[in-house]
Amino acid sequence: MITRFLSNSIVKGGAAPLFDNPRNYGLAYEDVSFKTSDGITLSGWLVKGGTDRIIIQSHFGVQSCRAGFTTAGKGMMKLWNTEIPFLKHVKYLVSRGYSVLMYDFRSHENSDEAQGNWVSWGPSEAQDVVAAVNFVAKHPVYKDAQIGLLSICMGAAATTYAYGAGDLQRHKNIKAMVAIQPMRYLDFVKALGLPGFLQRWVNAENSKRVGFDMPSRSFQKDVKTIPVPTLLVQNDQDEYLNKTSIDDYYESLTVEKEMRWLSDIGKKRAAGYDYLTKNPEKILYWFDRYMS
């Protein structure tokens, strides 16, 4: 019973209702959908700003969706005590002349369920990142636009896996990435502080559900394949932080890069996501620097 409960909290999708809408911020948008290479239909919003620069946002996993985080339905397992509305930082981007594609990963909110509604922490979701980039690259309005990648937690993992697989290398219009708090699956499980036997049981259950051995998968070897300037952002008090992993990610980047440690913002991991929505200019300046 405890093994299944813990596994559900780690890999079960569908825990993030779509609680917000661009209309609430006076933003022009359209509902969009597109397919991945394995036939999953993803749903999103295309928030309309300028036509020569567009940001693709890939959200964090399980408890998030394109709109961000809401406390609704989270019970005792809440990441944060208040909503984290991503449309606040999207409104900032629109004010800077960007359009923004916000989409739900597979097994999140309005996108199709996949793998029995299990979330793989990046390896499968990498196909979603590629599909989002392909959608923009073929869009009649944005096909020549410069692209920036705003990749948050699992979104950063999925983007890194996608680069490692070579699926994004042909998209020369991608000019920059902001990677916020990428985390390896095994770092999270270890940070939970479970007894060794329970870790083994949970890892076995999660691996059975997603169809591969989760503890053995890591995006670390793929970081060096990222070809665009990258800003790495991390809360230095994150309760799940493995600093060595973040340092390794940064050191493995072979492009123009910057490390942005967030200090004194709280000991919850979600404080980093909350900081983005409340202080977008302190993170998203990276896109202005490389997307002229």
Tokens read off for 223? 């970081």
- Taking the C-alpha atoms of residue 230 and residue 262, their distance in angstroms, rounded to an integer, is 16
Q: Find how far residue 141's CA is from the centre of its chain.
A: 25
The burial of 236, by beta-carbon neighbours within 10 Å (0-12 exposed, 13-18 middle, 19 or more buried), is given as middle
| Residue 115 pLDDT | 82
Looking from the CA of 184 toward its CB, the CA atoms found within 13 Å total 21
- Taking the C-alpha atoms of residue 248 and residue 68, their distance in angstroms, rounded to an integer, is 27
The full DSSP string for 185-207 is: HHHHHHHTT--HHHHHHHHHHHH
| Residue 75 pLDDT | 64
On the question of pLDDT at 77 being above 70, the answer is no
| Residue 94 pLDDT | 98
On the question of pLDDT at 30 being above 80, the answer is yes
* Helical residues (DSSP H) of the chain, grouped into ranges: 2-11, 87-95, 126-138, 154-164, 185-191, 196-210, 243-252, 270-278, 285-290
Digit-coded pLDDT (tens) for 144-156: 999 999 999 999 9
- Taking the C-alpha atoms of residue 69 and residue 37, their distance in angstroms, rounded to an integer, is 27
Delimit the domains of the chain by residue range: 2-290
> Any idea what DSSP says for residue 166?
T
Q: Are 110 and 104 in contact (CB under 8 A)?
A: yes
- Taking the C-alpha atoms of residue 75 and residue 92, their distance in angstroms, rounded to an integer, is 31
Digit-coded pLDDT (tens) for 176-222: 999 999 999 999 999 988 889 998 999 999 999 999 999 999 999 99
On the question of pLDDT at 5 being above 90, the answer is no
Dihedral over Cα of 223, 224, 230, 231: its sign: positive
Name the class of domain 2-290.
Answer: alpha beta
| Residue 79 pLDDT | 83
- Taking the C-alpha atoms of residue 87 and residue 85, their distance in angstroms, rounded to an integer, is 5
- Taking the C-alpha atoms of residue 168 and residue 290, their distance in angstroms, rounded to an integer, is 18
Q: Find how far residue 93's CA is from the centre of its chain.
A: 17
- Taking the C-alpha atoms of residue 51 and residue 67, their distance in angstroms, rounded to an integer, is 22
* 223: CB partners within 8 A, 6+ apart: 160, 248, 249, 252, 253
Would the pTM count as exceeding 0.85?
A: yes
